[in-house]
Amino acid sequence: MEEEDKPLGVIGYALAPKKQNSFIRKSLLSLAKSRGIELVRVDSAKPLADQGPFDCVLHKLYGEDWKRQLQDFHARFPRAAILDAPDAIERLHNRISMLQVVSELKIDDRVESFGIPKQIVIYDKATLLDPQAWDSLKFPVIAKPLVADGSAKSHKMALVFTRDALNKLKPPIVLQEFVNHGGVIFKVYVVGDHVRCVKRKSLPDVSEEDKSVVSEDLMSFSQVSNMAPHDAVNRYYELMHLDDTEMPPYAFVVDIARGLRRALRLNLFNFDVIRDARFGNRYLIIDINYFPGYAKMPGYEAVLTQFFCDVIFNKQEKQEQQQQQESQQQQESENGKINDESL
Ligand SMILES: Nc1ncnc2c1ncn2[C@@H]1O[C@H](COP(=O)(O)OP(=O)(O)OP(=O)(O)O)[C@@H](O)[C@H]1O
Ligand SMILES: O=P(O)(O)O[C@H]1[C@H](OP(=O)(O)O)[C@@H](OP(=O)(O)O)[C@@H](O)[C@@H](O)[C@@H]1OP(=O)(O)O
Ligand SMILES: [Mg+2]
Ligand SMILES: [Mg+2]
């Protein structure tokens, strides 16, 4: 290969087929290439450490085998970046530990406040049927699978209107108070330093009247914000809510995103925020996802390419600093030796 053809950095990506299809577009590959970054698919059936060499591995795969592959790769190439660390990602695979981090955040000097909805975790059927366990919760509640591992099952939720309906649920689950928020959710996409907030449709508000007239005491749903655009309900949202809904202040969203990024030690994630309809400036974080659907973000190619360049550049800078330090230390010890000998 000619020296001038040599990429500045090579990024190996290990993604499930669906993610690969949506994320790895020609437009991303060619923009990255124009900045000297080559994206290479990792074959997850072969040892990762035998592939490459990579300056960075980008991944969203699950399981112990994959974790071991990353460990082996790190042992062999300690200077390569792994985005992100598997133990940091795992924190998002449980809907309790996922949101615990929100309570660790501190943001000063803002009129807006933030938190999470009231929620409890139920591990078994006996506790589910014990009124003491959920006595403090106000209905309706959303029942969410405790595990959020990306499986279709982990996205299956239910809006539960009555206590009697709880016996239809299968623990382990999280019961989270449903909070009216005007039928619009804010999705905040984080890519390293970059933060982008978009509006999406959400579940409609539930009025006091609705609560008394609902025909079903439990309503199941899955991935509301990704519903097909031809759906009639969907059109209703686009017309009625999305356009008129005011965005949260950008600086506030950025403060939360930066705080979460630091606390979670993650670079690639998004979080869902709703504005509590009872107060104009109270925001609730309800979900955090690792490596979400970035391709839905207009201009995602430029954002991701810049991020790849930053990762490679930071890595090179660190390496140069380390080399400088090493040669300085060597120089000092050699000088020391000369001085010793000349004594
Ligand atoms: N506490 C809540 N109050 C009101 N609506 C909620 C609440 N929790 C969830 N929702 C609604 O349910 C949807 C799904 O919930 P959540 O985001 O937790 O699930 P998910 O399957 O992890 O979503 P994603 O596809 O973003 O990973 C939200 O987008 C929102 O519309
Ligand atoms: O379906 P898309 O690619 O757009 O991305 C979705 C992503 O699915 P994928 O990673 O399997 O592709 C989901 O991840 P898992 O929880 O299932 O792991 C979750 O992060 C959603 O929030 C993403 O939608 P977004 O929040 O961005 O709208
Ligand atoms: Mg969500
Ligand atoms: Mg989620």
Of the candidates 78, 22, 86, 21, the residue with the CA atom closest to the CA atom of residue 54 = 78
Angle at 255 between CA 254 and CA 257, to 5 degrees: 60
Q: What is the pLDDT of residue 332?
A: 83
Q: Is the CB of 55 under 6 A from ligand 1?
A: no
How far apart are alpha carbons 17 and 28 in whole angstroms?
A: 17
The alpha carbon of 200 and the centre of ligand 2 are apart by a number of angstroms equal to: 14
Q: What is the pLDDT of residue 55?
A: 95
How far apart are alpha carbons 334 and 95 in whole angstroms?
A: 56
Ligand nearest to the CA of 187: 2
How far apart are alpha carbons 260 and 240 in whole angstroms?
A: 32
Q: What is the pLDDT of residue 1?
A: 46
Q: Is the CB of 223 under 6 A from ligand 1?
A: yes
Q: What is the pLDDT of residue 100?
A: 97
The alpha carbon of 19 and the centre of ligand 2 are apart by a number of angstroms equal to: 8
What would the two tokens of residue 27 be? 């437009």
Collect the ranges in the chain with pLDDT lower than 50. Answer: 1-2
The alpha carbon of 112 and the centre of ligand 3 are apart by a number of angstroms equal to: 22
Residues in Cβ contact with 63 at an 8 Å cutoff, skipping those fewer than 6 apart: none
Q: Which residues line ligand 2 (CB under 6 A)?
A: 18-19, 22, 60, 150, 187, 225-226, 270, 289, 291-293, 296
Q: Which residue positions form the known binding site for ATP?
A: 95, 144, 176-187, 202
The alpha carbon of 335 and the centre of ligand 4 are apart by a number of angstroms equal to: 58
pTM of the entire structure? 0.91
Given phi > 0 = left and psi -120 to 50 = alpha, else beta, which region is 84? beta
Q: Is the CB of 202 under 6 A from ligand 1?
A: yes
Q: What is the pLDDT of residue 313?
A: 85
Residues in Cβ contact with 178 at an 8 Å cutoff, skipping those fewer than 6 apart: 117, 140, 141, 142, 159, 203, 206
Q: Is the CB of 272 under 6 A from ligand 1?
A: yes
Q: What ipTM, to 2 d.p.?
A: 0.95
Atom of ligand 2 nearest to the CA of 200: 28
Q: What is the pLDDT of residues 68-85, one digit of tens each?
A: 999 999 999 999 999 999
Q: What is the pLDDT of residues 207-245, one digit of tens each?
A: 888 887 777 789 898 887 776 655 656 666 555 567 789
Q: Is the CB of 92 under 6 A from ligand 1?
A: no
The DSSP bridge partners found for residue 120 are: 175
